[in-house]
């Protein structure tokens, strides 16, 4: 097997520039919120393409890129997804989730109703591919959940940085997405993300992020 290497395109920056950017990113990312109230205002398909391709630049096990992003704006498919998701969520909220779980969700104000699945102009469903199929044979993928999780993180971050809103929605179980979207058997639904503009005056829960000392354990030599 031939190995090919190319020069890493690295843009040199001063320590000062890097520190300014890191501080700006910290502020920008701290403003990201999971939004549950979307405007119906359209988002151009090209924007979605760019955001997905930015996400698909994520690192992955053995560079297998084990993901498919389904981008849905078709109202009839969104309706089917909403109906199927609400059916599962109704059962979740009325018995399948523990009291502890419901208690943890209470401050977030979530319930089984998911209007956003029809209102947001786009639904992005990320599928993970536990294996690929080449010439009728199965090819292994590695660290699939980690890889797709990283790509999803890239996507959420890019949506926010582009000025749109999203939500990591995990209807459970979500195999209905495989069926509605007609995905092949090597793909499993991973996350469902509505993407769009937040509704004017959208409210989000008043939650705090953990402090530096709760999040970071430093190991610094003398």
The residues binding ligand IYR (CB under 6 A) are: 89, 92, 105, 110, 169-172
- Which residues pair with residue 137 across a beta bridge? 134
Which are the contacts of 167, defined by CB distance < 8 A and separation ≥ 6? Answer: 34, 35, 36, 116, 193, 194
The residue (of 145 and 170) whose beta carbon lies closer to ligand IYR is 170
Give the span between the Cα atoms of 99 and 117, in whole angstroms.
26
Q: How far is the CB of 92 from ligand IYR (least distance, A)?
A: 6
Listing DSSP states for 3-60 in one string gives: ------------HHHHHHHHHHHHHHHHT--B---B------HHHHHHHHHHHTTS--
Q: How far is the CB of 202 from ligand IYR (least distance, A)?
A: 17
For residues 56 and 119, which CB has a smaller minimum distance to ligand IYR in the complex? 119
- Cβ nearer to ligand IYR, comparing 50 with 104: 104
Q: CA 190, 196, 199, 201 torsion: positive or negative?
A: positive
User: At closest approach, how far in Å is the CB of 117 from ligand IYR?
Assistant: 10
Sign for the pseudo-dihedral over CA of 28, 210, 55, 41: negative
Q: How far is the CB of 96 from ligand IYR (least distance, A)?
A: 10
Q: Residue 198 has what DSSP assignment?
A: B
> Which residue, 84 or 141, is less far from ligand IYR as judged by CB?
84
Residue with Cβ nearer ligand IYR (25 or 203): 203
Shortest distance, CB of residue 60 to ligand IYR, whole angstroms? Answer: 25
Q: Which residue is nearest to ligand IYR (CB)?
A: 110
Binning the chain into helix, strand and coil, the percentages to the nearest 5 are 40, 15, 40
Query: Looking at beta carbons only, is 61 or 149 nearer to ligand IYR?
Result: 149
| Beta bridge partners of residue 188, listed in sequence order | 128
Beta carbon of residue 110, minimum distance to ligand IYR (angstroms, whole number):
4
């Amino acid at each position: 097997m031939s190995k090919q290497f190319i020069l890493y395109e690295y843009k040199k920056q001063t320590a000062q520039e890097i520190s300014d950017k890191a501080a700006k990113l910290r502020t920008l990312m701290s403003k990201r919120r999971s939004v549950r109230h979307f405007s119906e205002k359209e988002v151009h398909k090209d924007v979605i393409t760019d955001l997905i391709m930015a996400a698909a630049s994520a690192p992955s096990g053995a560079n297998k890129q084990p993901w498919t992003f389904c981008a849905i704006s078709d109202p009839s498919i969104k309706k089917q997804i909403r109906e199927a998701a609400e059916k599962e969520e109704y059962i979740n909220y009325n018995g399948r989730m523990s009291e502890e779980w419901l208690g943890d969700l209470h401050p977030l104000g979530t319930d089984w109703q998911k209007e956003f699945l029809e209102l947001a102009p786009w639904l992005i469903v990320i599928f993970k591919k536990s294996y690929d199929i080449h010439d009728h044979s199965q090819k292994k993928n590695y660290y699939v959940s980690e890889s797709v999780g990283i790509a999803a993180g890239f996507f959420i971050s890019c949506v926010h940085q582009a000025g749109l809103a999203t939500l990591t929605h995990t209807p459970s179980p979500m195999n209905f997405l495989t069926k509605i979207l007609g995905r092949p058997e090597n793909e499993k639904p991973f996350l469902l993300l509505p993407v769009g503009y937040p509704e004017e005056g959208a409210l989000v829960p008043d939650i705090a992020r953990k402090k530096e000392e709760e999040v970071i354990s430093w190991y610094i030599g003398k």
